[in-house]
Structure 1
Amino acid sequence: MAASPAPSKPASLFRLDGTEAETLVSLRPEQVSVDTAVDLSGTPARLVAGAFHTEVPQWIPHAASLTGSELDLSAELPFAVLLVPRPPWTYAVTWGAGHLALNDEHVEQGFGLMFGIRRLDPFDLGLIASAALDASARATQISIPGGGDLSAFRLEPYGELVNRLAGAADLTELTYGRVTGKRYRIRVGNALWVPLAKEPRAFLADLDAVGAVVDEPDRDSALRFIAQTRPLDRHHRLLPTLEDRLAGALGGEENGALGLAWPATAVREAEHAGSFRVTGLGAGGPFTVAGRLDLEHLTGRLATLDAEKRVKALRAGRVVTCADDAGEEESGAAIPAAKWVVFETTIDHVRYVFHQGRWYRIGETYVEQMRAQVAALLARRYPWPEVKWTPSGEPDDEHRYCRKVAREPGFLCLDKDFATTPLHPRFELCDLLGPGGELIHVKWLGRATAASHLYTQALVSAEALRDEPDALAQLAAKAAALDPARVVTDPPGTVVLAAAGRSWHVDELFTLSQVALLRLDRAVRALRAELRFADIPYAPKSRTRAKAAKRRR
């Protein structure tokens, strides 16, 4: 006996706001072969289908010059989109390249994820794609073809922005689940890839069922933590309020925490930059900052603008690192000034963060749990000698301080003494080697966001010393050169972060700095070492000394 036909077929489902005319991008007449109204059991819908033409790839001449073969690889990408209004939303079912026809500004961000959080089996996941919400912006995709539980994907408990999931799901409410009694391996992100009924009335019922699942509470889901941190879409109702608060902070108002944060793509260049050239940041023309870039260099220019123009100017401005003091030898790409700024504010017990040029929502429960863990972590103290750091305003200020500490018994100064390994061509093993062989990394943290490169330095050093014999040999040689009696045979078991300019306290760190710190602690523990913290006694920076130092540079 022949099997009965499947009641459903998988397709990509999106949910959009706005009018029907706004949901699609502008399509040229030659791209559209069908644009017609359709009736779905009494519900008016719209079907748009056609093909996108792809141009000849830019790499064709290279391939032809090497092989002598002429290649004609232009092609047509067929697409179809079915728009179904189910107020207050419009659902879009896409086939082929149909997703390219949707107006991304009106696509509900994370729609598919919200369904997946409520219906995916946390013990039978096949894929998780995520990005780190910190200075690294690291992107990761882990696949387990046979399926695995959530713990097998080793997600960070904090600061992991999940973008896509795949796995077995309970589809009891949909036609497929009711008819077959089986689960189905769905894919979720901004879209939901799921079997939808082929018969119109059942299809509409499936859309309503999906919407009901997305709108139900997620308190019983093991995956609910995914929704704790989400990017805001461009039409979020609070976006104007958030942009106004950011504009006020750029002008000096105390309505949230504002700081300077190095973009993920510029951490290395910024660490070694001789100057920074800033262009397009409002009126006044380009300018160059010798030495370190401070937040005031950006806000000083933006504060002169009307409040409603500041955020636009921040997004239009560009910052490029330069190797020289005069801003003439570029060492990195021009990066939007908005990616150099981080801002946090709270509305109705929810934390919102402006990071890498985009807004994110962070749930209050998430923040409270993270603060408790960070507070416990910062309680691991390292005793620091009574050596005061009095800033001189000179570029080698940190090195001068490390040399002062090295006069204390057992401390060795390795600041600016770089190591080289196959995996790490140039890095600092530490700024100071402690009496017990501790790796000590020293920084002046003038702002709450300034810790990210300190974390990076500590992690690179710990990983190199644990994984690369060359690094350990170089540490032993450098220590013996400074003190012949000092013998280093094993990777140090303690990593110390020593800071001046602010204390190691949870209230002194941005949310994203706390995220990065918890991630660093996990990584260091995985390397069989312990993270400890030291508050350096210091004198506040003098603006007079800083200005004099800038004039000398």
Structure 2
Amino acid sequence: MGTSRLTIYLLRNVSQPDDAIAHDKTPQSQTLDPSSGLDGKFYYSSRPADPPAWVSFVQPILSSSLQSVKTSSASGLLVMKAVNRYFALTFGYGRGFINPSKVEHQFGLRVALNRIDPRHIRSLDTKTFEDMVVTKNTQSSKSSELPTFGVDVSRDMLRAVTGEPRDKTLAKRLSGSDALVLNVEILPTDLPKLCEDLFEAFQEDTYKSNFEWIDHLALVTDAESVSKLNALLEKQLVAGDTSNTHLAMPEAIDWEDVDAFRIGGTRKEEYEDLDLDDYLGRLGQDKSEITIERLRSRHVSVRFSRSNDFDSRWNVYQCLVTEQRLGSQLHVLIEGRWFVVSDSLVAKVDQFASALPASTTTLIESRAGEIEAKYNARLADSAPSDLLLLDARIKRPGGASSGIELCDVLSSNGEFIHVKRKTRSATLSHLFAQGTVSATTFVADGTFRDELRKVVEVETEEPQRTAWLDMIPDGKSFVDRSRYSVSYAVIANSTRSGTDWLPFFSKLNLMQNGQQLLNLGFRVSVSRVAITP
């Protein structure tokens, strides 16, 4: 008996196999042979053979026709019942038949975490949530423990895991996200027993011993709270308010293979990327008719360069990422599910951010539409004897292959001022990380400081030159860290008080970088730069 690669989903709210099929899909189907002992239905479709897309590209330079070169695709989906639940096994492109709202989220992930030996992990997929979603896949050359993968347990959400199970009779390797993928020697008639075992693993909480941190985000199961949160989001989208919300793919895909997207509600228009403002703009007046149910029924499809067809992957609601406060609690919408962030984490982050002072430098207002480079130049010109423009003065540390910018503007009182305009398309993570990297390099690398001193000598005149050179010790001198502070200046149009103008996950990133800087002996400040209409 050969090994079969199975991709298994657990379904929810399904009382008969047809309930699992997406409303706009019409695959052919067959009932199962009663003698098999399986209760379910099989769905399938195939496409006639066509020339692959690359044929039309290379044909003009060939001496003969590639008419015989053709490719076709087939899709299969087995929906079967076990332990009073329905499971779906996909073959080829069969996943496209499934109604996404019928999939039990994290089924495969929970099974994998409860069965994988934590000492034998091969890869992790994580998501970091800020102004944008950063998806990472980290693999090891051999099975390793969790610390090998550099996961930040306070802000990373585990999306998928691959590893070796403790019980090798189950499978040689397990991969789990929403689906569970495993290679196993099995007869089709034994599938109900396999699904029974997987469902048992899904219900366990063994994962808490090594992966308890994944519960920092707790799933909201209260229907009334979900309804209120959806109402808040719906109202904002109808008004065109995307300050707390953006679109992101629920899973990692190979970007080099992506040709275009389609988003339901805008006919057959194609998108280069998933952009919420672009989508709302194309909806036009139809934006006023947005409802959560409509967003759930509208598909997001992707066309890969290897195919001429659009593959329906998700619905619009699954692709929305947003932060909403309900009462005193912070909630986030991720992959079509609402999570409440643990109160202890929110309190810790808010306490840290609110305790940071503002910059001691008088930061001028930004002008509407002004790029950061122009703002930095105007800021430096506002106090030429006290502020030195270092924007884009990128210097390499000793032996480094790439350069580092110390800061955008250096103040005479030792502030490394880093400026960033907060937009819906740019994350602040780079800003906060830049402050940590540049400050660390300034202390540790004498070559870097010597390069900066050359900039000062060229771009300043006496008597300021001597003062600026004193601010940047040469490569052989001691650096007194207590003289310096890292100052984050964020250009943002907001009326919110304190640091509430920063998204929660950005504040979490600020806290992590800020703590590193404080531990290194630097002072840290954060300021909001107002925008002049």
Correspondence 1:204 to 2:199: no
Q: What 5-or-longer segments of structure 1 have no aligned partner?
A: 178-182, 266-280, 283-294, 317-336, 547-553
Cα distance, 1:303–1:21 mapped onto 2, change above 3 Å: closer
In structure 2, the partner of 1:123 is: 119
Q: Deviation per CA, 1:438-482, whole angstroms, max 9, x where unpaired?
A: 42124688xxx8896555345457657949999867743443323
Contact 1:127 1:143 in 2 (8 A): yes
In structure 2, the partner of 1:532 is: 524
Correspondence 1:56 to 2:81: no
In structure 2, the partner of 1:150 is: 146
In structure 2, the partner of 1:352 is: 331
Q: Distance in 2 between matches of 1:389 and 1:340?
A: 38
Q: Distance in 1 between matches of 2:244 and 2:202?
A: 37
Contact 2:8 2:181 in 1 (8 A): yes
Correspondence 1:102 to 2:86: no
Aligned positions of 1:358-397 closer than 5 A: 359=336, 361-365=338-342, 368-369=344-345, 371-373=347-349, 375-376=351-352, 379=355, 381=357, 384-385=360-361, 387=362, 389=364, 395=370
- How far off its partner does 1:376 sit? 3.8
- How far off its partner does 1:160 sit? 2.3
Cα distance, 1:373–1:451 mapped onto 2, change above 3 Å: farther
Query: Helix, strand or coil for the counterpart of 1:484?
Result: helix
Q: Distance in 2 between matches of 1:212 and 1:392?
A: 59
In structure 2, the partner of 1:495 is: 486
Correspondence 1:435 to 2:432: no
Aligned positions of 1:66-81 closer than 5 A: 66=61, 68=63, 70-71=65-66, 72-81=68-77
Aligned counterpart in structure 1 of residue 503 of structure 2, from 498, 510, 519:
510
Contact 1:504 1:534 in 2 (8 A): no
Contact 1:428 1:457 in 2 (8 A): no
- How far off its partner does 1:124 sit? 0.9
Cα distance, 1:237–1:97 mapped onto 2, change above 3 Å: farther
- How far off its partner does 1:14 sit? 1.0
Tell me the amino acid that sits aligned with residue 231 of structure 2. Answer: D
In structure 2, the partner of 1:333 is: none
Aligned counterpart in structure 2 of residue 216 of structure 1, from 204, 218, 222:
204
- How far off its partner does 1:186 sit? 0.7
Contact 1:431 1:442 in 2 (8 A): yes
Contact 2:244 2:324 in 1 (8 A): no
Q: Deviation per CA, 1:75-108, whole angstroms, max 9, x where unpaired?
A: 2345543211247642012344443443434333
Cα distance, 1:216–1:389 mapped onto 2, change above 3 Å: same
Cα distance, 1:81–1:532 mapped onto 2, change above 3 Å: same
Cα distance, 1:311–1:11 mapped onto 2, change above 3 Å: closer
Q: Deviation per CA, 1:208-232, whole angstroms, max 9, x where unpaired?
A: 2222321334573312433545999
In structure 2, the partner of 1:259 is: 243
Aligned positions of 1:89-488 closer than 5 A: 89-171=85-167, 176-177=169-170, 184-194=172-182, 198=186, 202-217=190-205, 220-226=208-214, 228-229=216-217, 241-249=228-236, 259=243, 343-346=322-325, 351-354=330-333, 359=336, 361-365=338-342, 368-369=344-345, 371-373=347-349, 375-376=351-352, 379=355, 381=357, 384-385=360-361, 387=362, 389=364, 395=370, 400-408=378-386, 411-414=387-390, 417-419=391-393, 430-435=407-412, 437-442=414-419, 455-457=429-431, 459-460=433-434, 466=441, 475-480=452-457, 481-482=459-460, 483-485=464-466, 486-487=468-469, 488=472
Tell me the amino acid that sits aligned with residue 60 of structure 1. Answer: V
Cα distance, 1:427–1:222 mapped onto 2, change above 3 Å: closer
Query: Helix, strand or coil for the counterpart of 2:33?
Result: strand
In structure 2, the partner of 1:36 is: 31
Contact 2:114 2:207 in 1 (8 A): no
Q: TM-score normalized by structure 2?
A: 0.65
Cα distance, 1:308–1:260 mapped onto 2, change above 3 Å: closer
Contact 2:131 2:424 in 1 (8 A): no
- How far off its partner does 1:243 sit? 2.9
- How far off its partner does 1:198 sit? 3.5
Contact 1:51 1:77 in 2 (8 A): yes
Q: Deviation per CA, 1:220-258, whole angstroms, max 9, x where unpaired?
A: 33124335459999xx99765433212334678xxxx97
Q: What 5-or-longer segments of structure 2 have no aligned partner?
A: 250-264, 267-276, 299-315
Tell me the amino acid that sits aligned with residue 324 of structure 2. Answer: T
- How far off its partner does 1:116 sit? 1.7
Query: Helix, strand or coil for the counterpart of 1:259?
Result: coil
Query: Helix, strand or coil for the counterpart of 2:130?
Result: coil
Tell me the amino acid that sits aligned with residue 496 of structure 1. Answer: S
Contact 1:258 1:342 in 2 (8 A): no
CA RMSD of aligned residues (A): 5.4
Contact 1:378 1:504 in 2 (8 A): no
Q: Distance in 1 between matches of 2:358 and 2:453?
A: 23
Q: Distance in 2 between matches of 1:394 and 1:138?
A: 26
Query: Helix, strand or coil for the counterpart of 1:223?
Result: helix
Tell me the amino acid that sits aligned with residue 141 of structure 1. Answer: N
Q: Distance in 2 between matches of 1:70 and 1:208?
A: 53
Contact 1:128 1:141 in 2 (8 A): yes
Q: TM-score normalized by structure 1?
A: 0.63
Query: Helix, strand or coil for the counterpart of 2:465?
Result: coil
Tell me the amino acid that sits aligned with residue 331 of structure 2. Answer: Y
Contact 1:125 1:166 in 2 (8 A): yes
Q: Distance in 2 between matches of 1:167 and 1:510?
A: 34
